[in-house]
């Protein structure tokens, strides 16, 4: 009898250890995604551009990107800094970002596109889903300011949207933010939605991953808090864009953020049904909405 109980206990311990180890491996893979190569350039859209490199704020990583200026002789309406989503790169191919950049340059905007750390051609080995990436956004802002930009607007997608909100909260030089499909608080979002990314049952894997991963990576998911960030952004304007049928990040994330200050925050809910798919579904409507928002943005 005792031998049987010991055997059952040993199996239970082995299963628990195995589940924890597997959770750690999955979490590690999520924070170390395979890089996607940068396979296109602004020249494919007949855009003049320069290749640029600059440090993240703090200097721990070097970021690679493109500076795409408005036509010579025009006064730029804004300098728009694009920030891509998780496990992507500056192309944000699902959008596609180059087409949107071309539309904004045609409308007399400067555009800065770059790769987050551990993405594209930038340095780094860890993707922290906003915890460190907001410093990359701030590095892009610093570089734009060094070029003389005086009306900086952040345009982020998914992880890049939340990172942009966190960056704007720390940088008063940011005039406005356009947040396409952000999550409002990383820990709370992952507690409900991590299976979308892991393809594993929520229990027991989500609690294990959320416990183990910060210890492995040295990150603090609770600090990736867009709810707190928007309070520091206000009264600067923010446009939230989100598909009502987004299956990866529910639109309630944007709705809750926008509702905090409806006098300065706008919410545009679309019905394309995919994550960060609003531009692809209707490029003309998306571009018009962005340009209308930029027209309402004025320097302090």
113: how many CB neighbours lie within 10 A of its CB? 29
> What's the CA angle centered on 64, arms 63 and 70, to 5 degrees?
115
> Which residues does residue 268 pair with via DSSP β-bridges, in sequence order?
241
**Higher per-residue confidence, 19 vs 161:** 161
Q: Which residues are within 8 A (CB) of 182 and not within 5 positions of it... i.e. 6 or more apart?
A: 156, 158, 161, 162, 165, 226, 240, 242, 249, 253, 254, 257
Q: According to the model, what pLDDT value does residue 5 have?
A: 45
Residue ranges of domains in the chain: 1-31+186-219, 43-183+224-296
> Tens digit of pLDDT for each residue in 222-256?
999 999 999 999 999 999 999 999 999 999 999 99
Cα–Cα separations (whole angstroms), residue 70 to 79, 82, 108? 9, 15, 5
Mean pLDDT of 50-68: 97
Q: According to the model, what pLDDT value does residue 299 have?
A: 53
Q: Does residue 193 surpass a pLDDT of 60? A: yes
Q: Does residue 176 surpass a pLDDT of 80? A: yes
Q: Look at residue 12 and give its three-state secondary structure.
A: helix
Q: According to the model, what pLDDT value does residue 274 have?
A: 92
Confidence of residue 17 (pLDDT cuts 50, 70, 90): low
Mean pLDDT of 7-14: 48
Q: According to the model, what pLDDT value does residue 19 have?
A: 79
Confidence of residue 297 (pLDDT cuts 50, 70, 90): confident
The pair of structure tokens assigned to 44 is 């494919």
Q: According to the model, what pLDDT value does residue 150 have?
A: 86
Q: Which residues are within 8 A (CB) of 161 and not within 5 positions of it... i.e. 6 or more apart?
A: 83, 179, 180, 181, 182
Mean pLDDT of 111-131: 98
> Tens digit of pLDDT for each residue in 123-168?
999 999 999 999 999 999 999 999 999 899 999 999 999 999 999 9
Q: According to the model, what pLDDT value does residue 9 have?
A: 46
Superfamily of domain 43-183+224-296 in CATH is Alpha/Beta hydrolase fold, catalytic domain (3.40.50.1820)
226: how many CB neighbours lie within 10 A of its CB? 27
């Amino acid at each position: 009898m005792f031998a049987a109980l010991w055997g059952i206990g040993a199996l239970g311990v082995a299963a628990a250890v195995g589940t924890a180890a597997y959770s750690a491996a999955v979490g590690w893979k999520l924070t170390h995604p395979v890089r996607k190569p940068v396979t296109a350039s602004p020249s494919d859209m007949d855009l003049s551009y320069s290749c640029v490199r600059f440090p993240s704020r703090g200097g721990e990583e070097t970021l690679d990107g493109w500076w795409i200026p408005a036509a010579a002789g025009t006064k730029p309406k804004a300098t728009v800094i694009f920030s891509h989503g998780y496990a992507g790169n500056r192309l944000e191919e699902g959008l596609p970002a180059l087409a949107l950049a071309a539309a904004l340059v045609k409308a007399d905007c400067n555009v800065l596109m770059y790769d987050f750390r551990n993405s594209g051609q930038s340095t780094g080995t860890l993707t922290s889903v906003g915890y460190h990436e907001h410093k990359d956004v701030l590095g892009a802002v610093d570089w734009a300011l060094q070029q003389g930009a005086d009306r900086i607007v952040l345009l982020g997608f998914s992880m890049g949207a939340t990172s942009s909100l966190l960056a704007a909260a720390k940088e008063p030089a940011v005039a406005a933010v356009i947040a396409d499909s952000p999550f409002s608080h990383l820990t709370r979002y992952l507690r409900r939605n991590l299976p979308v990314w892991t393809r594993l049952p929520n229990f027991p894997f989500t609690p294990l991953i959320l416990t183990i991963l910060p210890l492995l990576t040295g990150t603090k998911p609770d600090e990736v808090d867009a709810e707190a960030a928007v309070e520091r952004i206000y009264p600067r304007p923010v446009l939230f864009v989100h598909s009502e049928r987004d299956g990866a990040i529910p639109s309630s994330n944007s709705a809750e953020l926008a509702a905090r200050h409806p006098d300065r925050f706008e919410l545009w809910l679309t019905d394309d049904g995919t994550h960060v798919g609003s531009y692809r579904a209707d490029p003309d409507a998306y571009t018009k909405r962005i340009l209308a928002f930029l027209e309402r943005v004025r320097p302090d």
